[in-house]
Amino acid sequence: MGSASSLGYLSDRKGRAPNHLPTRLLVGLLGLLMFSATAVVVGQATGLGLVKHQLGEPVAMRDLVILRTAGDRVVVQDAMTTTEIASYAPQAGGFVRGSLRAFERMRQVAKVPFDAPYRLIKWEAGTVSLSDTGTGERIYLAAFGRDNVAAFEALLGEQGGNKP
């Protein structure tokens, strides 16, 4: 087997210019990078171009214990009084049941007891959030549609739950 020069590869390359990144492309990429960095700095400093979602203060808050019974029934209780707020049969309460499954998985990974309370909060802006007091996770329910928000908002009670 011969050397690389005898195979003809190096001899074919002699006299040719090496492949370089085109100068215009490199200048364009650097310009785009500088523009992006400048836009971020100006946006952070002045607030120009930023979209901020202001939640305001909590309007209503209620701590809930959501339990799954042996018959796959989901029971929602007030954490303070342990009174039953709602109960969902195995084929009912789809969004509440689905949310519970997601939080149960996070609790299992974090090794948090399943009977730790959840915190349901309605904010001044009208947004409703569900927080897991055990893991610290919070989801804003507006992303799941009005009907799903209404399912949890009903758990706040007639007066909107306890005022914070």
Averaged pLDDT, 50-77: 80
Does this model's pTM top 0.85? My answer is: no
Where in the chain are the domains?
9-46, 58-156
Confidence of residue 35 (pLDDT cuts 50, 70, 90): very high
Q: Which residue has the higher pLDDT, 130 or 34?
A: 34
Q: Are 74 and 88 in contact (CB under 8 A)?
A: yes
Confidence of residue 16 (pLDDT cuts 50, 70, 90): low
What digits encode the pLDDT tens for the residues 84-131? Answer: 887 777 777 777 777 777 788 888 888 888 778 888 888 888 888 888
34 burial level (CB within 10 Å; 0-12, 13-18, 19+) = exposed
Q: Are 155 and 66 in contact (CB under 8 A)?
A: no
List the one residue out of 86, 109, 96 whose CA is nearest residue 139.
96
Contacts of 121 (CB under 8 A, 6+ apart): 58, 60, 61, 128, 129, 130, 131
List the one residue out of 56, 64, 51, 54 whose CA is nearest residue 122.
56
> Which tokens go with 101?
């499954």
Q: Which residue has the higher pLDDT, 96 or 58?
A: 58
What digits encode the pLDDT tens for the residues 73-97? Answer: 878 888 888 788 877 777 777 777 7
Q: What DSSP element (H or E) covers 33? A: helix 23-46
Number of residues written out for the chain: 164
Confidence of residue 12 (pLDDT cuts 50, 70, 90): low
